[in-house]
Each structure stands twice: as structure tokens, then as C-alpha cells.
Amino acid sequence: MKKNNMISLFKAINILKRNKIIIYPTESVFGFGCNPDSSKAIKKIIKIKKRSKKKGLILLTNNYIKLIPYVNFNFLSKPSMYKKIFKFYNRPTTLLLPAKHDINILITGGSSFVAVRFINYLPILNDICNFFKKPIISTSVNISGMKSCCSIKDIHDQFGKKIPILKGNLGKEKKTSRILNIITGEVIRND
């Protein structure tokens, strides 16, 4: 790979389709991403982050239809539940939704919920989901317990230049997304 490991959107999509990992800008920090159907890629992210398998990961998507393989929508049968979900389509909020019983345990961390964040308000991530045609795994770019990467220099300092980075700017959010359990209404994190 070139010294400059910045890549275009279409190269990033190709990397995701080959079950490899990428780094991309999010609302506030850089994120690791991969195909949610590739245990190998998910394990690689967990390994390089030195992250516990019990923590689970987030699915980024721009459309709830793409969540059908991962979310148990039977628990969301009331129209009021969908109204709650749509309320967060344009706000950086991670929603805990009921997971399907056969979802990869590395995504849920063994929980009965899967973490989901809608990213319609971020054009670059919206484009990833449109062209990849499914959600992508998301977790902050950092070694667990260390500060999340907010610059290319931070990424290179912690991980070198081997992982491709999608060209683009971070969003303007100063904090990580809040986490909300859609069933109970409990706010898990409100940073």
C-alpha cells in the first residue's frame, strides 16, 4: 500500500466486499468498519483494538430495511416503536434494538440487543451504506482504554499506515453518540 493510505469511496466499498477493514470519518471520531457478515473481519477489529468480545459493536446504516437480517422486528410491532426509531434518523444516537437470535455474537457481545446508529445526516457514511447495500460494523479507532483517534496522525501513531482510511472530514460533533434502549427508553450513555 502507498505511504498515503487514504482511499476513495469506491475503493472502500471494494475493501468491505473483500471482508477487510477500513477506517472512516464519523460524526466526532474515526471509526473502524467492516462487513457485519464477516466474522474474520470483526475478529480482526477486536484484536487490533484489544477489545473485549463481550462489549459488542455498532451497526451503521442509513435505512432500517437493511437491518432485517440483524434486528428482530417482531418486538417492534407497535407503530409507536417505529416512530421512536424514525425520530433518531437524523441525530447521532445509537439505539439498542432487539437482536435476531442467529446474529453473530461478536456484534452483540452476547446481549439480546444489537446497537444501531442511523447515519443519514453524514453524506460519506450514507454513500457507504448505499453502495455497500448493507450496514457496516462501527467502533471507534483506538486501542481500548485509549483516546479515540480524531486525526490521521492519531491513527498512524496507534496503528501505523497499514489500514486504509476513507477520505473525508469528521463531523462537527464534540461527543460520542448517546445510547438509548428503544424498548425500555433507558438512556445508557448521554455524553
Give the model confidence (pLDDT) of 126-137 as tens digits. Answer: 999 999 999 999
Res 2: pLDDT:
45
pLDDT for the residue 23: 98
Split at pLDDT 50, 70, 90, the class of 189 is: low
Q: Is the pLDDT of residue 89 over 70?
A: no
Mean pLDDT of 130-158: 95
pLDDT, one tens digit per residue, over 33-83 is 999 999 999 999 999 999 999 999 999 999 889 999 999 988 776 666 666
Q: How far apart are alpha carbons 63 and 117 in whole angstroms?
A: 10
CA distances from 131 to 16, 43, 149 (A): 11, 24, 26
Residue type, 166: L
What is the model's pLDDT at position 132? 97
Could you give the 3-state DSSP secondary structure of residue 86?
A: helix
- State the pTM of this model: 0.89
190, pLDDT greater than 70: no
Residues sharing a CB contact under 8 Å with residue 174, sequence separation 6 or more, in sequence order: 28
Round to whole Å and give the CA distance between 37 and 153: 30
